[in-house]
Amino acid sequence: MKEINCDILVVGSGMTGLLTAYAISSFGYKIVIVDQKRMEHKNIKTDSRTTAISEGSKVFFEKIGFWKKISSYTEPIKKIKVIDRKPKNNINFFNYQDKRNLGYIVRNYNIISLLIKLLKKNKNITFYDNFKILRIDYTSEKVVGVFKNLNVSADILIAADGKNSSVRNLLRVPLFKKIYSDSALVLTLNHLFAHNSTAYEIFYKTGPLAILPMKSKKNKHSSSIVWSNNPLYLKSLFEEGGSLLKETLNEKISEFIGPVQKILTKQMFPLSSHINRKFYSKRVLFIGDSAHSIHPIAGQGWNLGVKDIKNLYDLTNDHSSLGLSLGSNNFCKEYNENSYYNAFQLYQITDKLNAIFKKNNLSSNGLRSIGFSFIEKNNNLKKIITNFAMGFS
């Protein structure tokens, strides 16, 4: 049995766990990152998903020195066009602030591979992969992650192991969960027209379809599609994958970005959301998807996790400057207080938005049409919504 002592144990080496380790590594703590999968078998290159980085997240990335490293892989979002059923029912959002964008789109692969490269250069950070957490024990002032043939003692354990968190299950932390009737089809593709750094959110009666601008490669225009719909319908398109999928997509998106030239990657996921009743246990913090997940309707899921990381970073900065140890009950409670309300608010907002836009009757459609027209003509209201999307609310 290998015994290791460290300051911080991070369970999970996805984007959230890696970014957490990168952010707090600047304080000089000894950090151990453990994942139940083999790092070389994580198949990150096959992950076709993209992530939307808000302007607020970008500001934090600048603070921790990550933005200058990842920025060259991102495509800015300069405009967002929201459409309800018909093109005439639309709202056009654009940036009201100089030198800022509404957000940025980047491939998950670029974030993960870059963070792994940076962290492996840090002598205070150690990776252990292919170790599934079996138990969580405690000594007088330590939390102990128990793995097969490995025990890791730390001042604090950061659970960043996703929606189906093993840490949360071991500690029996209760949660609220909602399983949606839809699935999401996620695609990357080349298309004929330039996207002009414009994102589209189109609300059909069957669910939303988002078109997200990606960085062009070899002068080919590229975008990411996130399409929520009936899982059986999407599965039939996914498995067929040829001309039928292409033709169906062209019916939905060709008027915005031109005909599909080539489908590069595709993945399909069931949709659900959850929120823990609390984001901490004894010497354990839950961060990102291990604490909460939301409907992708607003594209803010990862940015919500980044806010968790920022709260942890600020709290760690305060405690380390005073020489206080991490993981105390006060430390964990303060993190929970700083993170929970914002997550709960967005959990509710995205769930209700999805329900509102799924309604398809004359009165609901009429009310949404009136609402769209009112918002489109009201610049002050559009600024408020824009600030929310940019992560400044």
- CA torsion 232-233-238-243 (nearest 10°) is 150
In this predicted structure, what is the pLDDT of residue 391? 67
pLDDT, tens only, 79-91: 999 888 777 788 8
Q: What is the mean pLDDT of residues 44-60?
A: 82
pLDDT, tens only, 286-302: 999 999 999 988 788 89
pLDDT, tens only, 315-337: 999 988 877 789 999 999 999 99
Q: How far is 268 from 71, CA to CA, in rounded Å?
A: 27
% of the chain exceeding 90 in pLDDT: 66
Q: How far is 342 from 3, CA to CA, in rounded Å?
A: 38
pLDDT reading at 151 higher than 90: yes
pLDDT category at 241 given cuts 50, 70, 90 is low
Question: Among 41-45, 256-260, 264-268, which stretch is predicted with the lowest mean pLDDT?
Answer: 41-45
Q: How far is 99 from 101, CA to CA, in rounded Å?
A: 7
The CA R_g of the chain, rounded to the nearest whole Å, is 22
- Give the sheet arrangement for strand 125-129, strand by strand: 125-129, 31-35, 8-11, 156-159, 284-286, 280-281
- Asked if 303 contacts 57 with a C-beta cutoff of 8 angstroms, the reply is yes
Q: What is the mean pLDDT of residues 385-393?
A: 66
Q: How many CA atoms lie within 13 Å of 87's alpha carbon, on the beta-carbon side? A: 5
* Residue 355 vs residues 97, 203, 223, 344, 364: alpha-carbon distances, Å: 32, 11, 26, 17, 11
Q: What is the mean pLDDT of residues 262-282?
A: 94
In this predicted structure, what is the pLDDT of residue 9? 98
pLDDT, tens only, 202-219: 988 888 999 999 998 878
pLDDT reading at 382 higher than 90: no
pLDDT category at 41 given cuts 50, 70, 90 is very low
pLDDT reading at 248 higher than 50: yes
- Asked if 264 contacts 194 with a C-beta cutoff of 8 angstroms, the reply is no
In this predicted structure, what is the pLDDT of residue 84? 85
- Annotate 349-387 with b (16+ C-beta within 10 A) or e (fewer): bbbeebeebbeeeeeebeebeeebeebbeeeeebeebbe
The whole-chain average pLDDT of the chain stands at 89
In this predicted structure, what is the pLDDT of residue 98? 62
Q: What is the mean pLDDT of residues 170-188?
A: 94
pLDDT reading at 146 higher than 90: yes
pLDDT category at 388 given cuts 50, 70, 90 is low
CA 190 to chain CA centroid, nearest Å:
23
In this predicted structure, what is the pLDDT of residue 249? 94
In this predicted structure, what is the pLDDT of residue 96? 67
* Cα angle 276-184-167, degrees, rounded to a multiple of 5: 30
Q: How far is 291 from 168, CA to CA, in rounded Å?
A: 9
Phi/psi of residue 350, each to 5°? -65, -35
pLDDT reading at 361 higher than 90: no
pLDDT category at 393 given cuts 50, 70, 90 is low
pLDDT category at 392 given cuts 50, 70, 90 is low
In this predicted structure, what is the pLDDT of residue 389? 66
Q: What is the mean pLDDT of residues 254-273?
A: 93
